[in-house]
């Protein structure tokens, strides 16, 4: 059976399973639509939470970013797993004891203010919509490969699928669908990793294979990878960091507290019967997540080594990387490269006309040449573009003691989008067709499961927290469900449109969403639980200031509402102008501003009323939680 037919069969079977479960477990009431009726077992909920949270960013993009960034990519591992510990210890049990459907409800009731609830809805919608843009990017990658179409068409198809089963099933359908999706995505991630680890190191555990010697070579895998990438002009894989130490710290903290503040994850803890189950759910989720997260560094490193070995035969033989015959002839490139070229996520441009593929770090020469061609064609600043080419050419010719220039290389010729590394990994390693098909199914499962969870958070925020609690308290259950489904549809259209031109790779876009949640929702929830006297005015001022600081810095770099060409990076002192912090890491600074402003405003205004202080005290007692309620 050929590869494409195998992919259709495996992905089709997984789709039939998801849609069948969504139909079987469809929601019949508001409670089932929002919190699955509140009767989900902790292990089941832990598995569903893991699928909900291990999105396209985790499955498709994270290992690709680790592959691209090396050691610096570890911020995702530390931040996202550390956030779960925070969530399990500091938030989940207390929010479950409080017993409402949504985060804005908690904030509205705790801070005795509909204004606070409305501000929380704005924060939630901003974070969730940004997150879905990242998911749609991942959906595009997965569907484009699955159907052999470009990534834009992949996004359109993904939108239709997500809309159908998220709107149809509500939280009850999503919970049980996500259990199935977790099983598919974890097998799809681990099985290829085992195969590849065995091929490269003879060790079947990828986690151990990462630190093992290569087969037929006394050199450890990571040492060989370091040698190859540095010889080709890239930074050393095992020491390359994500900016300065301050930036790495801020990045990790932002992902950590953003995890603990993300509404679509928090709402999962309202679906279990008891407070103890909320804590147990978080523990089980961490176990299920760890299976993928401890495998990701091995997947990233092995994919990187295999890619270099594919386009340069000297990587495996230990020969001369710069010899003409070491570079792969384009006409002899493997089928997987041709397939990914159709998606537009892998590109080759013959800079020196030799018909061979040179993949190396060229000091930005190829990019500068492309910018010059664009300026010439579109009437841009040709002189400035030419100066950039001349500067890059000088750096290039001096690099590696002139070895690149001496080999006749005239710029990097291969552009690989990091988001394809996991999906392409089994193809690069020549694994069986059924493994490649399983990975396609896993990538689609990862992207769809989180998109559905985020859409539930958006739906409940609009229909429940805005329309029912603020604008129309007398709305019927039927009207509330309809409003929620319309909100989902609008969110799918907006995120899909922005996903066509995302502000970064899937994991990078998701990191922005975590930063928004970290700077706005997390401090408010923390102060709501652990400060009896925090007032409504303090919380509202904190949320707004944290959100403003974060969005101002992010939009300065990425454009207003992520629209290309509307950036104003000069207003923040240039790229990463605030202490060298990247926009993906700014959520930590936003959270600090949030806490500080809330504290100062609280000092200048009346503290929370006595009945609210008693409510906060009762939340901390770990007994007596009832079912999650909407009112």
Who contacts 589 (Cβ-Cβ below 8 Å, separation ≥6)?
250, 519, 549, 550, 553, 578, 581
Categorise residue 110: left if φ over 0, alpha if ψ from -120 to 50, beta otherwise.
alpha
Question: Which range, 86-95, 167-176, 378-387, 537-546, has the best average confidence (pLDDT)?
Answer: 537-546
Rounded Cα–Cα distance for residues 289 and 247 (Å): 25
**Residue 207 structure tokens:** 């986690």
Q: State residue 399 phi and psi, 5-degree precision.
A: -65, 145
HEC string for 404-464? HHHCCCCCCCEEECHHHHHHHHHHHCCCCHHHHHHHHHHHHHHHHHHHHHHHHHHHHHHHH
- The number of angstroms, rounded, from the C-alpha of 502 to the middle of its chain's C-alpha atoms is 12
pLDDT of residue 101: 60
pLDDT of residue 167: 67
**Beta pairing partners, 134:** none
pLDDT over threshold 60, residue 500: yes
pLDDT of residue 528: 93
pLDDT of residue 319: 87
The per-residue pLDDT for range 570-585, each reduced to its tens digit, is: 999 998 999 999 999 9
Q: Of 422, 225, 431, 444, give the one whose Cα is nearest residue 340.
A: 422
The residue assigned the tokens 């990519």 is 73
Alpha helix ranges (H) inside 2-55: 3-24, 30-35, 42-53
| Contact predicate 522/260, CB 8 Å | yes
Q: State residue 515 phi and psi, 5-degree precision.
A: -65, -40
Report the predicted TM-score, pTM, of the whole model to 2 decimal places: 0.84
pLDDT of residue 26: 60
The per-residue pLDDT for range 105-122, each reduced to its tens digit, is: 889 999 999 899 999 999
| Contact predicate 435/195, CB 8 Å | yes
Q: What is the DSSP string of 347-365?
A: EE--SSSSSEE--S--TTH
pLDDT of residue 332: 94
Helix-strand-coil split of the chain, %, nearest 5: 75, 5, 25
Query: What is the average pLDDT score of the chain?
Result: 85
HEC string for 527-561? HHHHCCCCCHHHHHHHHHHHHHHHHHHHHHHHCHH
pLDDT over threshold 60, residue 160: yes
Number of helical H runs and strand E runs in the chain: 28, 4
The per-residue pLDDT for range 119-146, each reduced to its tens digit, is: 999 998 899 888 888 888 887 888 887 7
Rounded Cα–Cα distance for residues 105 and 494 (Å): 25
User: When comparing pLDDT for 33 and 601, which is higher?
Assistant: 601
The per-residue pLDDT for range 306-333, each reduced to its tens digit, is: 999 999 999 988 889 999 999 999 999 9
Lowest mean pLDDT among 42-46, 283-287, 454-458, 522-526: 454-458
**Beta pairing partners, 329:** 356
pLDDT of residue 624: 53
Instruction: Say what percent of the chain tops pLDDT 70.
Output: 91
The per-residue pLDDT for range 248-297, each reduced to its tens digit, is: 999 999 999 998 777 666 766 666 667 777 778 878 888 898 899 999 99
**Domain range annotation of the chain:** 42-302+427-619
What is the DSSP-derived secondary structure letter of residue 501? S
Rounded Cα–Cα distance for residues 631 and 619 (Å): 17
Who contacts 18 (Cβ-Cβ below 8 Å, separation ≥6)?
165, 177, 180, 181, 445, 448
pLDDT of residue 285: 85
| Contact predicate 429/421, CB 8 Å | no
Rounded Cα–Cα distance for residues 30 and 43 (Å): 24
pLDDT of residue 270: 67
pLDDT over threshold 80, residue 522: yes
pLDDT of residue 380: 79
Using pLDDT thresholds of 50, 70 and 90, give the confidence band for residue 172: low
How far, in Å, are 103, 104, 257, 389, 534 from residue 531 at the CA level? 17, 18, 18, 57, 6
pLDDT of residue 136: 82
Rounded Cα–Cα distance for residues 69 and 366 (Å): 20
Give the DSSP H/E element, type plus range, for residue 387. Answer: helix 382-398
pLDDT of residue 170: 55
pLDDT of residue 630: 47
**Residue 604 structure tokens:** 């200048």
Using pLDDT thresholds of 50, 70 and 90, give the confidence band for residue 31: low
pLDDT of residue 36: 45
pLDDT over threshold 70, residue 100: no
42-302+427-619: CATH topology:
Sodium/glucose cotransporter (1.20.1730)
pLDDT of residue 35: 46
Lowest mean pLDDT among 175-189, 267-281, 401-415, 515-529: 267-281
**Beta pairing partners, 357:** 328
pLDDT over threshold 80, residue 34: no
Beta strands in 117-163 (DSSP E): none
| Contact predicate 151/140, CB 8 Å | yes
Rounded Cα–Cα distance for residues 103 and 480 (Å): 18
pLDDT of residue 165: 63
pLDDT over threshold 90, residue 540: yes
User: When comparing pLDDT for 470 and 296, which is higher?
Assistant: 296
User: When comparing pLDDT for 378 and 108, which is higher?
Assistant: 108
Sign of CA dihedral 440, 290, 19, 169: negative
């Amino acid at each position: 059976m050929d590869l494409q037919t195998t992919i259709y069969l495996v992905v089709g079977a997984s789709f039939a399973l998801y849609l069948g479960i969504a139909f079987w477990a469809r929601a019949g009431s508001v409670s089932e639509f929002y919190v699955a009726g509140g009767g989900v077992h902790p292990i089941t909920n832990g598995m569903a939470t893991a699928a909900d949270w291990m999105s396209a960013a985790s499955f498709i993009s994270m290992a690709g970013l680790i592959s691209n960034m090396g050691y610096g990519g570890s911020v995702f591992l530390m931040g996202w797993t550390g956030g779960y510990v925070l969530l399990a210890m500091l938030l989940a049990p207390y929010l479950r004891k409080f017993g409402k459907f949504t985060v804005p409800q908690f904030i509205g009731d705790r801070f005795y203010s509909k204004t606070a609830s409305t501000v929380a809805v704005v924060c939630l919608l901003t974070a969730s919509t940004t997150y879905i843009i990242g998911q749609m990017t991942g959906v595009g990658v997965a569907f484009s490969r699955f159907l052999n179409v470009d990534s834009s068409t992949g996004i359109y198809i993904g939108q239709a699928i997500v809309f159908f089963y998220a709107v149809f099933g509500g939280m009850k359908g999503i919970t049980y669908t996500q259990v199935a999706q977790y099983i598919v995505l974890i097998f799809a991630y681990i099985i290829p990793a085992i195969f590849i680890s065995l091929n490269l190191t003879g060790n079947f555990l990828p986690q151990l294979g990462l630190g093992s010697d290569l087969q037929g070579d006394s050199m450890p895998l990571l040492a060989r990878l370091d040698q190859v990438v540095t010889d080709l002009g890239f930074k050393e894989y095992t020491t390359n960091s994500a900016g300065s130490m301050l930036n790495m710290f801020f990045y990790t903290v932002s992902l950590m507290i953003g995890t603990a503040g993300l509404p679509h994850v928090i709402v999962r803890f309202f679906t279990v019967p008891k407070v103890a189950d909320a804590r147990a759910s978080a523990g089980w989720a961490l176990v299920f997540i760890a299976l993928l997260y401890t495998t990701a560094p091995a997947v990233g490193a092995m994919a990187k080594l295999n890619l270099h070995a594919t386009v340069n035969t000297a990587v495996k033989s230990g020969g001369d990387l710069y010899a003409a015959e070491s570079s792969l002839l384009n006409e002899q490139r493997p089928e997987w490269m041709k397939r990914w070229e159709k998606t537009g996520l892998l590109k080759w441009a013959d800079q020196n006309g030799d018909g061979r593929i040179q993949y190396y770090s060229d000091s930005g020469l190829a990019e500068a040449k492309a910018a010059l061609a664009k300026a010439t064609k579109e009437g841009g600043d040709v002189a400035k573009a030419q100066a950039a080419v001349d500067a890059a050419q000088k750096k290039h010719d001096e690099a590696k003691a002139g070895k690149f220039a001496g080999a006749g290389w005239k710029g990097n010729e291969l552009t690989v989008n990091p988001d394809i590394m996991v999906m392409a990994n089994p193809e690069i390693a020549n694994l069986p067709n059924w493994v490649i098909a399983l990975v396609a199914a896993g990538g689609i499962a990862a992207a769809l499961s989180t998109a559905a969870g985020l859409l539930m958070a958006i739906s409940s925020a609009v229909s429940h927290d805005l329309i029912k609690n603020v604008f129309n308290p007398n709305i019927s259950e039927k009207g509330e469900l309809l409003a929620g489904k319309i909100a989902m549809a609008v969110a799918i259209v907006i995120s899909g449109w922005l996903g066509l031109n995302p502000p970064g790779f899937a994991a990078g876009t998701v990191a922005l969403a975590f930063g928004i949640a970290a700077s706005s929702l997390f401090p408010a929830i923390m102060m709501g639980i652990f400060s009896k006297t925090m007032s409504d005015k303090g919380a509202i001022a904190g949320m707004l200031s944290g959100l403003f600081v974060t969005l101002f810095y992010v939009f300065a770099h990425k454009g207003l509402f992520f629209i290309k060409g509307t950036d104003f990076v000069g207003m923040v002192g240039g790229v990463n102008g605030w202490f060298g912090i990247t926009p993906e890491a700014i959520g930590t600074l936003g959270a600090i501003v949030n806490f500080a402003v809330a504290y100062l405003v609280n000092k200048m205004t009346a503290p929370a009323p006595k009945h609210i202080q008693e409510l906060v005290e009762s939340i901390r007692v770990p007994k007596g939680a009832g079912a999650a309620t909407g009112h």
